[in-house]
Structure 1
Amino acid sequence: MTMTGKRVVIIGGASGIGFAVAELAHASGAEIVIGSSSAGNVKAATDRLSSATGHVVNLRDESSVSGFFEEVGSFDHLAITAGDWGVPMFASLRDLDLQSAHDIFTVRFWGALAAAKYAAAKISQSGSITLTGGMLTHRPMKGAPVATAMGGAVEYLTRGLAMDLAPVRVNAVSPGMILTEVVKQRPEEMLQAMVAHLPIPRCASPREAAMAYVYLMLNDYTTGQVLPVDGGGHIV
């Protein structure tokens, strides 16, 4: 199966999983549009993937999201991989700052919702939207109640949008430990300890995660689903 003739928009596509999705979709024949909050990152990504175009979009700003999709115009598939690594994701309830807890949802939930809202007017009725959750939702840990809830909110948003936007398909990917640029900054010993218990006891490459997004774009009979890419984390 190919994506020849399809137009794919990736918000968060300048790095990490998002850029891997851009590369893989492009290799399958798609025209790529990259969205990122940084103009420099957009330029760097489109320089690396020379046939791609890109625009700045700030998922914290509804007018920026609306303007982005006006610039993009019509398209077939949307993947949202953007995160906000400047927000503290981990804190126990006793130490929780409620404003920081609120901020965890700003990009990954509310930003994704805004993107879906404004994408809906431009996306092909045979197209798809793919959101991003995370393994933590299914394997909670101490010190991360809000991050766990945020991932769950994304997954339930996926189900709701799949019904509301039909026949446009809406799915999500639930990545485990993926070796993005940010993750690779952590000590190797820490990363290995986090995955040692898995049936596949290693971290994944961004390309391995990207394959799930492209699959969900290509499979016309899949909607309302969450696809784990976590080395078996859901079953241990």
Structure 2
Amino acid sequence: MSEALMSLAGKRVVVIGGTAGIGFAIAMLAREIGADVVVASSHQANIDAAMARLDGVTGSAMDLRDESSISRFFDTLGAFDHLAITAGDWDIPIFAPTRDINLTAARDSFTVRFWGALAAVQHACRVIDPTGSITLTSGMLAYRPIKGAPMAIAISGAIVHLVHGLAVDLAPLRINVVCPGITLTEQVKQMMPPERLQASVAPLLLPRGATPAEAATAYIYLMLNGYATGQVLPVDGGGSLA
């Protein structure tokens, strides 16, 4: 493949959730192939830490729970080319069997992952290049439901269908979604004891978790491929076939 096709030189890439996990890996990879990268997070300390680790990357605080914060972020940002959103609210439990669902928490679980993402897309549309792209994050639970997780499944499915609607409505701006399987971010490793993690990946065709860098590559591909829109890109180690 031509080096030019693998380059984001001259492009400005924004990663909301870019201070940790998959988002940090996206920012790192985009920077490595020439992009001017901006990371956003709700905590300034996390932004400062990410900028210290990523040479040449800039950042700004922005809270997906607060539309005014989102609006200010994009007003200050100015023109850019690609947006990736990986932010999630890990403090709200989304895994519980139906009988144990806290309905207040269930409603709140959509605040960042769905409504926050939609608000970011809406405000980003004012300043993003119409030949650019927006990539959201769902999960393979949208396609491989498991017991004890109806809300996590619902959120994942809602994001996928939101992307389909946005892709049609906002064309020619490209809108896609990545559906990672189990990805070995620090957050996931803290949440899943080793024995549970091993049991979860054992049935996969590739029986291991993805690295954040492997998941990040999917987002970069969707930025680079100017003919990809409305697409759902799984990165699941063959889990959809297992």
Name the TM-score, length of structure 2 as normaliser: 0.96
Q: Which residue of 2 aligns with 1:111?
A: 116
- 1:211 partnered with 2:217: yes
Distance 2:162 2:197 in 1: 30
Distance 1:182 1:168 in 2: 32
**Regions of 4+ moved over 6 Å:** none
Could you tell me how far 1:6 is from its partner in structure 2? 0.1
Could you tell me how far 1:117 is from its partner in structure 2? 0.2
Aligned length: 236
Letter in 1 for 2:107: H
Could you tell me how far 1:234 is from its partner in structure 2? 1.3
Could you tell me how far 1:104 is from its partner in structure 2? 1.2
- 1:194 partnered with 2:200: yes
Deviations 1:20-42, CA, capped at 9 Å, x for gaps: 00010111100000000000000
Could you tell me how far 1:189 is from its partner in structure 2? 1.4
- 1:40 partnered with 2:40: no
Distance 2:206 2:48 in 1: 36
Q: 1:171 aligns with which of 170, 176, 180?
A: 176
Q: Which residue of 2 aligns with 1:123?
A: 128
Name the TM-score, length of structure 1 as normaliser: 0.99
Deviations 1:39-81, CA, capped at 9 Å, x for gaps: 0000100111120110001000000111111111110000000
Pairwise CA RMSD: 0.7
Distance 2:230 2:241 in 1: 21
Deviations 1:103-162, CA, capped at 9 Å, x for gaps: 111100000000000000010011000000001111111111111011000000101111
| Other structure's SS at 2:109 match | helix
Q: 1:11 aligns with which of 12, 16, 19?
A: 16
Q: What's the % identity of the aligned pairs?
A: 60
Distance 2:57 2:50 in 1: 8
Q: Which residue of 2 aligns with 1:162?
A: 167
Letter in 2 for 1:208: E
Distance 2:29 2:22 in 1: 10
User: Matches of residues 139-154 of structure 1 in structure 2 within 5 Å?
Assistant: 139-154=144-159
Could you tell me how far 1:97 is from its partner in structure 2? 1.2
Letter in 1 for 2:97: S
